[in-house]
Chain A
Amino acid sequence: MKKIILLFLIFPFLNFAQSKTITGTVNDENSMPLPGATIQLDGSTTIGAITDFDGNFSITIPPDSSQILIISYIGYINEKVDISNQTTFEINLSPDNEALDEVIVVGYGTVLKRDLTGSVASIKLEGEVTQTSTSVDQLMQGRASGVQVTQNSSNPNSGISVRIRGTNSLRGNNEPLYVIDGVIIASAGEDVIPTGTGNTGQEAQSGLNGINPRDIERIEVLKDASATAIYGSRGANGVVLITTKSGSNNDGKGKINVYLNRSFSEITNKYDMLDGLGYAEYRNALRLRSGNAPMYSINPYGSGQVYQYLADSNNDLTGVLDDTPSLILDWQDEMYNIGVSSNLGASFSGGDEKGNYYVSAGFNDINGVISGSNFKSTDLRINLNYQLNDKLKIEGRISTFFSTSDFAEGGDLIGGDQSFVQQVMNYNPIIGSNASNAEEFYEDQAVSNPYSWIDDYSDDSKENRIIASLALKYDFNVPGLQYEFKVGGNLRDKDRSRFFGLTTWQGKGANGLLQKMQLNALTYQVNNFLRYNRNINRNHRVNATLGVTYDVRDVESNVYAVEDFITAQLGNAQPFLGQTISRPLLLRASDQQLFSVLGRFNYTFKNKYVLTASFRRDGVSKFSEDNRYGFFPSFALAWRAGSEDFIQNLDLFSSLKIRAGWGQIGNHGIGPYGTLSNYGASSSLYGDAANGTTVPLVLNNIANPNLTWETTEQYNFGIDYGFKNGKISGNIDVYDKTTKDLLQQSPIPTSSGFSTMLINRGNMSNKGVELGLDVIAVETEDFNFSMGGNISFNKTKIENLGLTPGDVLLSDGKGGYETVQRPSYLGNTFSRGNSVKGAANIFMEGEEVGMFYGWKTDGIFQTGDQMYTINGAMSKPGDIKVLDLNGDGKVDLDDQTIIGNPNPDFVYGFNLNMNYKKFTLKALFNGVSGNDIANVNMYRVGWIQNNSEYRNIMSDAWDNRWTTSNPSNTHPSIEYSSLNLPSLMDRVLEDGSYLRLNSLTLNYDIDLKSNNFIESCNIYLQGRNLYTWTNYSGYDPEVTSFLYDGLILGHDWNNKPNSRTFLVGLNFNF
């Protein structure tokens, strides 16, 4: 080529008037020559040239042709040059930032966004969003299609649940895989193991602590199989890739960012319980019904007060009124206050051409709405990247996290007086002036009051966590070929200790009870990758990865409980003070190893056609040798139709890409050792003849040597589009996934001696559509307005259960019911008590997962109605009218049918962003629609509880009760009892749809004088969870009870109140 150019230079005069030769140089944005750039005569397909290694070109154009040259280079914006008046020019091309430079993080590598074939949602995060969020899940809520986040925002340490494209399996834990800077953090549902002593039910805490939102640059959510298959058996529930920040290479000058904020939280709503006077009336009526004298004098002498009758030492009422009125409390007001929290942190970043650094530190002090509930954390992060020499680059990441929390706000999760939330709801609102005397009335139950939970209960967690990785990247002499060796891991130590003092129900029984639990988890991966990433010429681009990875998870948990304290003064500080060891130190190891070979090949032809193929072969220690290895392939194609001339000629789309993919992914989301019989120590001891102890040995599980992967096969079809120069952009994805050989901890008959067994059984499918749309409505210098939204429809269906069909009663679609044959099984029961004895969720072939199953009701039996037996007892006027659906003249288990659906029709989120001069206003909404919630708290407070007469109930239940003179059709009479019913009644089902103003943020950039040491500064105000539009009557429709129990869905059982938070923050850049 050079020779030809030379030739033309020597003989310029040979160019007569007929043709014209143009020479020049094409450079990149930094004036560095661009070899291989294309120079094309506008309108011609035959006349063109390519720049040489120095960016030079020469082109001869025929006479009377166009005088316009088009200069193009992949990744740069095309330039047109008019050559009518010039024969030589030099041009700098500008990079095409819009599409090409955007690099998307995918499994074990990155791809250009334009080369992406799978369904990946990218969440880009901005300053105040990350600074005001306390956890990763908050960043995802409402911001990505196909992602449903369930969390309790009033409680920073409570368990969370993230579902990507529906429920994938029938196990409890359907959490996605989290990968931080390439390190797998498989701990979303991980917590200490409860000791199981002392009638306590422990609340799950978050396993994602330690990932500070502030350090997160971006989040990618991999949704379809072609994106996740490279994670093989770990990617079935979707993968969340988190990339933390790096310093910038460009400025030698370091950046300093400091922020602080302060927030105030209060509960959003309350249950409307009876007040003191109403309660006294209710209580007296119940006592009268049991043949007992009234306990309270209500409003004597027009005092507006309640006076209590005194009791003698034998607990008999004396008929003598207390001389001072009783104290009346609204326990919800009493217990839920304003929680004040602070959050501050700083980061330092910078770099030069050799490397960069990002260092940050933060401190959170979060106080919940219950006094004493607190979460403190400190974190540090160092991210370093350095080019050691031409070939070798080193990347290091280390982050540490230390936290303490006290009294996660739910308290205990089991019912009655053993649950904080329930006690606050239904504790007696009347405190006699002689309080200890008042307590005596509860006799054998000896109830503690809600204050015991604050004064005499602690649930302390300490967590230390280190996440670190080190990568070495070596560039071979072959251009584009790189080898990476990376080790990364996560060390997590958690101590949780719960102390029940002498006034708590549990502590009173045990004379002080201390439970200590520890978790030591070390997970690490050793990765070897070979990558090839190169544009071969203008038509071919290859991005390939081949890797070997070894993934180890060593987890040791231990539990210990001691009680009968010689003194309770030290609380949980000294276990030695307990005299009886109710749970000897028990270790539970759960180790797993995974060895995998993986690869991905991404090939782009002519910038228009993209193929991705990936595979992974996993071997996992959890399965027996025959079932140990699994192979998980995927293929996907994308067509960048927007680059085709005929599309461009339409002048409609600014971008258009059509994607299709298929893949298979496995899942082994069960604990280890499931294929082995565990003979070992029983969790309890046995006595000996000398009142000492012996250690019993027992078989703890039923081994299933046949266990193997569950496999999810997924098809995805998607379109990415942009209009009006990208001002309107969005995507549509349609998917269909089927999971086979579902791994389940299946309930088995207790007559077998065991209650569950791990098995592979059944198939289920998820089909759905996801839509995303972003619109830049106004874009001017002073005013900008943009909005975005996403909506995801998902339908889960149980395709096959592998069970023999049984009789079930289902609607015949014509208003009647018919018995049909369907395989099904029931889930778990929410309560160990007397509320409902049966399970409320059914898993039935042909239906969605966990449909509510139980009795249909129709108001209240009225005088004159046809009566029949319900659960063996004859109904009477004033009872809840359970319908005899099969018409056999009685209501029993055979009258159960599907009564509701806990699965939403769709989840959605949208945001509005406005910017006027120095003000920015942002709003984020998220919502869920079409699901039912079983508010099973109603079994305690929703109607009269004549069998547990000391508990408060809702005002409605008393005021609107059925009596002969007030034949209410909403609430049963005082004679009614719903004890031990074997079935859930549909009257507790409510529509769980909601739309929430998740956050509203107003930011103001403060003007600073140029000489100021502070470069820039902004102040922001934020309201979180400001308003929820819902018809749900409980505390919060975002139900978090039983998050990790796949066999209890959509139940609100002691769900915590949600809180609304107001926050003010300041942010400085130096």
Chain B
Amino acid sequence: MKIITKNLFKMKYIKYLFLILFTVSCEVDLDETPPFLDDTMYSDPQSAQGARDGLYQALTTYNTQERRIFVVNGHSGLLVTGKGGNRLNSADNSTLFKLDAGYHGDVSALWGGLYQAISRTNSAIINTPTVTSPSTDDEKTLNDVAGHAYLVRAWSYFSLVRLWGEIPLWLELPSSGNTSKALSTQAEVYTQIVSDAKRASELLNGAAGTGYPRQYAANMLLAKVYMTMATNSNLGTGTWQMAYDEAKKVYGQYSLVADYGSLFTSTTENTSESIFELQISETATNSQMGRNFSPWKWKKGFHFGWLRVNAFFHDYHAKTYGVEDKRYASTYLSSYSRADNGKPVKVYPGNPGRGRFAASHPYLFKFAEKNTSHAAQFNSQNIIIYRYADLLLMLAEISNELGNGEAMTYLQPVLDRAGVTARPEYSEGQAAFRNAIMDEYKFELLGEGEDAHNNRRRGYQYFLDHTITPHNSSIGTKVWKGNKKYAADRDMIYETDETKIMKLKIPISELNTNDLID
């Protein structure tokens, strides 16, 4: 061994050589310089606006938009689907649409989508600097961005808590060692929603301009929250009066558009009626609603016709107000010409034969691409989350509960636009009014996203008595148009088990990964 060492170090220059090598190498820079931003993007007014759009983009992902619309409509007890084949026993009709979703894939994806939006809001809320009295444009911009984050967080949690009940309440970003969160009670979630919505109403200042919600959206959300609490004391303190106060802040800030149908086109968007609207654009490729929900052969491009209104509810609407209701033609489609060859297509009631399931229910027309020669799968029709007609109905409902005599003041403009006269029930006392206004939400807002919530808002028994039982017990009775009857092989029989229909199941993927949920 000595020989080796001696020989090696006799050669001094080798030592130098290595010295050089090591010196050179110690200067090797191993720091990463990736091409992305850091959390300062929230304090830079320009990039903060990009972060704001990230919040709304989270609401237009496939999971939180298409799937949300599909899930909340399937969960409403008012619709059926042609997805996966026009059959009652198709994958979706036999689960989600039957009010027994189980571990449904779209439900699971919606959960992930809403929570993704929440994590973006958490990041924005933590990092965006706000001031109490903004004076400069930059301060206004940053306050407004934070306000959007609070609004989106409140709205997302409100959606989650109504669909799933007890849920994990994340207000920070996960980190190593903090990835699981136990379930919070509904009351805890509602408390957070109230707090977030209030903060949003303070911070939002309109700096974002057209196409973005203003503080009134937060007031409207808060009104909805209080209305929900008003009939369920488990959720915390919320009264009809509190709901009234919030809703009144919105009242008069918007106005109904004259043409109900114009709410569902891509040509008239962000109207005076719009309170909270998601911006959809074909070039942004952020919506396939037109692909998913345009009726069969309605337009030129590939499309699926996934949403149909069950014949029973359609008939109820038609019998209540008649097809003269100006909302009717924009809500249902049952008779049209094929876009490919011009031949007629008729489903119920256009074709009263009800020969098979596919022909037994009208299509929901609101989300259909209105341009029948449209060939792409992405389209431009915006999604309205809150609109003024909803607020007016809310005020009518609240007023009825408060007995303040203002109910018709708010309701009448909505009915007037629809071109219908008030149902007799509206003048038959508080209870009758209540049932009628709960119907009115369906007629006015069918498919737009609130049905599943509205129908359940007054509890299981109300849902059963006013949505499920009337439908289920119609089997064997005659349909509105034609000689056919509602039939068990054409019409769904909804599940009635409270444990199945009131809340969705927490997704398997969450159960499998969350240590703090059994």
Is residue A324 contacting chain B, with contact meaning CB distance below 8 A?
Answer: no
Tell me which residues across on chain B come within 8 A of A695, comparing CB atoms. 50, 53
Is residue A803 contacting chain B, with contact meaning CB distance below 8 A?
Answer: yes
Are B53 and A542 in contact, CB atoms less than 8 angstroms apart? no
Are B82 and A837 in contact, CB atoms less than 8 angstroms apart? no
Nearest-neighbor residue (CB-CB) of B175 within chain A: A702
**Could you tell me how many residues of chain B have their Cβ less than 8 Å away from some Cβ of chain A?**
130
Known interface pairs A290-B489, A693-B281; A699-B509 also in contact (CB < 8 Å)? no
Q: In the complex, which range does the number of interface residues on chain A fall in? A: 35 or more
- Bound state CA distance, A540 and B1, in angstroms? 9
Is residue A813 contacting chain B, with contact meaning CB distance below 8 A?
Answer: no
- In-complex Cβ contact of B35 among A445, A550, A587 (8 A): A587
Q: Tell me if B's interface is mostly helix, strand, loop or mixed.
A: loop
Nearest-neighbor residue (CB-CB) of B112 within chain A: A750
Tell me which residues across on chain B come within 8 A of A579, comparing CB atoms. 376
Query: For chain A residues 729-753, which have a beta carbon within 8 Å of chain B?
Result: 746-753
Query: For chain A residues 498-541, which have a beta carbon within 8 Å of chain B?
Result: 508-511, 528, 530, 532, 534, 536, 540
Are A689 and B211 in contact, CB atoms less than 8 angstroms apart? yes
Query: For chain B residues 458-501, which have a beta carbon within 8 Å of chain A?
Result: 489-490, 500
Known interface pairs A948-B84, A949-B87; A686-B514 also in contact (CB < 8 Å)? no
Nearest-neighbor residue (CB-CB) of B380 within chain A: A691
Are B515 and A834 in contact, CB atoms less than 8 angstroms apart? no
Are B18 and A697 in contact, CB atoms less than 8 angstroms apart? no
Are A692 and B25 in contact, CB atoms less than 8 angstroms apart? no
- In-complex Cβ contact of A747 among B95, B296, B509 (8 A): B509
Binary CB contact string for chain B from 88 to 124 against chain A (1 if under 8 A, 0 otherwise):
1111001100001011110010011001111110110
Is residue A868 contacting chain B, with contact meaning CB distance below 8 A?
Answer: no
- Bound state CA distance, A939 and B54, in angstroms? 38
Are B30 and A621 in contact, CB atoms less than 8 angstroms apart? yes
Tell me which residues across on chain B come within 8 A of A806, comparing CB atoms. 515
Binary CB contact string for chain A from 576 to 590 against chain B (1 if under 8 A, 0 otherwise):
000111100001010
Is residue A1037 contacting chain B, with contact meaning CB distance below 8 A?
Answer: no
CB distance from B481 to the nearest CB of A (A): 16
Tell me which residues across on chain A come within 8 A of B303, comparing CB atoms. 444
CB distance from A415 to the nearest CB of B (A): 11
Are B30 and A684 in contact, CB atoms less than 8 angstroms apart? no
Are B306 and A696 in contact, CB atoms less than 8 angstroms apart? no
Nearest-neighbor residue (CB-CB) of B499 within chain A: A872
Known interface pairs A677-B38, A696-B54, A753-B116; A291-B490 also in contact (CB < 8 Å)? yes
- Bound state CA distance, A117 and B468, in angstroms? 77
Known interface pairs A291-B356, A314-B346, A695-B53; A948-B91 also in contact (CB < 8 Å)? yes
Of B136-144, B337-345, B397-405, the stretch lying at the interface with chain A is B337-345
Interface centre among B54, B210, B510 (most CB of A within 10 A): B54
Is residue A950 contacting chain B, with contact meaning CB distance below 8 A?
Answer: yes
Is residue A61 contacting chain B, with contact meaning CB distance below 8 A?
Answer: no
- Bound state CA distance, A751 and B182, in angstroms? 10
- In-complex Cβ contact of A696 among B18, B53, B180 (8 A): B53
Are A314 and B38 in contact, CB atoms less than 8 angstroms apart? no
CB distance from B436 to the nearest CB of A (A): 35
Are B375 and A948 in contact, CB atoms less than 8 angstroms apart? no
Interface centre among B32, B91, B357 (most CB of A within 10 A): B32
Binary CB contact string for chain B from 1 to 22 against chain A (1 if under 8 A, 0 otherwise):
1011001101100100110011
Are B345 and A511 in contact, CB atoms less than 8 angstroms apart? no
Tell me which residues across on chain A come within 8 A of B57, comparing CB atoms. 682, 684-686, 696, 698
Is residue B252 contacting chain A, with contact meaning CB distance below 8 A?
Answer: no
Is residue A446 contacting chain B, with contact meaning CB distance below 8 A?
Answer: yes
- Bound state CA distance, A833 and B111, in angstroms? 16
Are A581 and B509 in contact, CB atoms less than 8 angstroms apart? no
CB distance from A860 to the nearest CB of B (A): 19
Tell me which residues across on chain A come within 8 A of B322, comparing CB atoms. none
Is residue B41 contacting chain A, with contact meaning CB distance below 8 A?
Answer: yes
- In-complex Cβ contact of B85 among A680, A893, A949 (8 A): A949
- Bound state CA distance, A832 and B376, in angstroms? 24
Of A393-401, A475-483, A1057-1065, the stretch lying at the interface with chain B is A475-483
- In-complex Cβ contact of B11 among A481, A509, A693, A977 (8 A): A481
- In-complex Cβ contact of A946 among B89, B356, B515 (8 A): B89
Are B34 and A693 in contact, CB atoms less than 8 angstroms apart? no
Are B170 and A593 in contact, CB atoms less than 8 angstroms apart? no
- Bound state CA distance, A563 and B167, in angstroms? 39
Are A872 and B100 in contact, CB atoms less than 8 angstroms apart? yes
Tell me which residues across on chain B come within 8 A of A693, comparing CB atoms. 281, 283-284
Is residue B454 contacting chain A, with contact meaning CB distance below 8 A?
Answer: no
Nearest-neighbor residue (CB-CB) of A442 within chain B: B85
- In-complex Cβ contact of A704 among B1, B88, B175 (8 A): B175
Are A748 and B280 in contact, CB atoms less than 8 angstroms apart? no
* Given pairs A550-B28, A689-B211, A982-B102, 8 additional interface contacts (CB within 8 A): A316-B359, A443-B358, A580-B283, A685-B57, A751-B168, A752-B170, A752-B179, A837-B104
Instruction: Return 15 A-B CB contacts under 8 Å, by A number.
Output: A314-B344, A314-B345, A315-B345, A530-B14, A530-B17, A580-B378, A676-B36, A687-B283, A696-B54, A697-B54, A749-B514, A752-B115, A753-B119, A755-B112, A950-B85
